[in-house]
Structure 1
Amino acid sequence: MSHPNRERADRILDAAGELLLRMGYRKVAIDDVARAVGIGKGTVYLHWRTKELVFQALMMRESADLTDELLTAIKADPAMILPHRMIPRSFLITQRRPLVMAMLRGNAEMFGSLGDLALKKQQDELRTRFEEAMLRCGLLRSDVPNLTYALKTATLGFYVGDTLSGDFEGIPLEEKADVLAHLIRTAFEPPGEPDPGAVAEVAAELSSALEELVSSYREGIYAHDPTRAPG
């Protein structure tokens, strides 16, 4: 069901996203967002009470869209859940979303105010669940010390590497994803072909976890929607 207020909420988020990319979180004011949409500031506050909540909703919408992309890929090919495919695919999807990159990289103060979000907690829980399922089904090596730390830091370098050094800016994005895939495959996955039954089991489990995540994001985006009954 389409809703005029829902459509207006989306227009507010679109404008907030464009301004975030152009000006950075700190400089964007609700006045700017309202002006870009052609509405009064008070109308923005009908949807979200504070600037933080506007950007929190924007983050949720981006996360939901990004997760949907990943889900589509897993449904098309369950083997997409293998770490050396899933992690590079997430990397590519994220890198192609300038808003997510801006949120990850340049807007530390925004993450300061939104850092204790339920959003982050949900993502961490999902990561833990994913790793446990992979280990249980023999799709990750069980002999890697501090596996969570190792996986996270190995992957993080690909997201922030360019901000630390300009040496590798010339490497095309697809090539970087291939390097990441090679690293994950050789360092974290057991040798040999994965068992198709294990792949199917983890794909089913992960898909339903991701679907839950998407629906809770979508719910959260419009949590302050003026059309919703209180309570």
Structure 2
Amino acid sequence: MSAPARVPDRLDRVLDVATDLLVRWGYQRVTIEDVARHAGIGKGTVYLHFRTKDALFLTVLLRAHHGVVSRLVERIRADPAEALPSRMLRSLYLELAGDPVVRPLYLGDSAVLGRLAHESADTLGELAQRREEAGRAWFGLLRDAGLLRTDLDVSEQLYLLGAVTSGFYFVDSLPVPTAPGDPAGRAAVLEHALAASLEVPGAPAPGAATAEAVADLFASLIEHIDDEWQRRVRRSGRAAERRSAR
């Protein structure tokens, strides 16, 4: 899982273990003691980094978001076509379909997160607002480049995109004309739907300058995510890590 390079090894291991236990056991069952035992450290060491269980697992959620958005930015910078809604969401679908750990965390699965799903709503509220602002700027860049249709305004287009991503986009139980367990087939259907409803037919791929501007928009989200999760890591824990590394 992608994570900021400045995270100390021991803290990274605590977050890895906490992520695994959260997905396997659910928030209600897992405890700080469980995380410490599976990480091979004392629970006091976990508390050096995090004051509460909520702080630990909110950091787990923020790290999951960091990884998803970082890889999205990398894909855009490697291939400008990934800046288009249809391509971006196709790639995101395939990534989450192939990652049973990150998927429930990124999507806010209440069966896994339990009470944390409600607690995180306030914590991640500003992130959601920033994502919406980035989305508006993203669509504005593509419209200015002649790559998005203009028969709907930006708000309506973002609503359409949100309906796909938060609704039937991730509902595996819906019947689709692809083989069972075929995420690539499902991704292709969804890519086609978004391209037909949002994008200008026959338009070229975004130019390098447009793609880089889109990548920069999403990269700014990564900075905010990192600021949020670093605020939840206790300074005493970071200081202890630095001393032990000497």
TM-score band w.r.t. shorter chain: 0.7 to 0.9
Any residues of structure 2 matched to 1:45-56 within 5 Å, and which? 45-56=47-58
Does the alignment pair 1:140 with 2:151? no
Q: CA deviation at 1:67?
A: 1.8
- Residue 172 of structure 1 is matched in structure 2 by 182
Aligned residue for 1:98, secondary structure, equals: coil
Any residues of structure 2 matched to 1:123-138 within 5 Å, and which? 123-138=131-146
Query: Which residues of structure 1 form unaligned runs of 5+?
Result: none
Count of aligned residue pairs for this structure pair: 223
Task: State how far apart, in whole Å, the 1-side matches of 2:152 and 2:137 are.
Answer: 17
- Residue 111 of structure 1 is matched in structure 2 by 117
Work out which of the residue numbers 38, 41, 45 in structure 2 matches 1:39: 41
Q: CA RMSD in A?
A: 2.5
Task: State how far apart, in whole Å, the 2-side matches of 1:138 and 1:81 are.
Answer: 13
| Contact 1:11–1:37 (8 Å) recurs in 2 | yes
- Residue 61 of structure 1 is matched in structure 2 by 63
Task: State how far apart, in whole Å, the 2-side matches of 1:148 and 1:10 are.
Answer: 35
- Residue 208 of structure 2 is matched in structure 1 by 200
Normalising to structure 2: TM-score of the pair? 0.80
User: Cα deviations across residues 165-220 of structure 1 (Å, max 9, x unaligned)?
Assistant: 364581400111100110011111112223x6x53333111111222222333343
Query: Which residues of structure 2 form unaligned runs of 5+?
Result: 240-246
Task: State how far apart, in whole Å, the 2-side matches of 1:187 and 1:63 are.
Answer: 27
User: Cα deviations across residues 83-107 of structure 1 (Å, max 9, x unaligned)?
Assistant: 1111111222222232332222233
Cα gap change, 1:40 to 1:221, in 2 (>3 Å):
same
User: Cα deviations across residues 40-74 of structure 1 (Å, max 9, x unaligned)?
Assistant: 22221211111121112112222222222222211
Q: CA deviation at 1:108?
A: 5.2
- Residue 218 of structure 1 is matched in structure 2 by 226
Does the alignment pair 1:26 with 2:19? no
Q: Which amino acid letter does the alignment assign opposite residue 123 of structure 1?
A: R
Normalising to structure 1: TM-score of the pair? 0.85
Aligned residue for 2:20, secondary structure, equals: helix
- Residue 242 of structure 2 is matched in structure 1 by none
Q: Which amino acid letter does the alignment assign opposite residue 70 of structure 1?
A: L
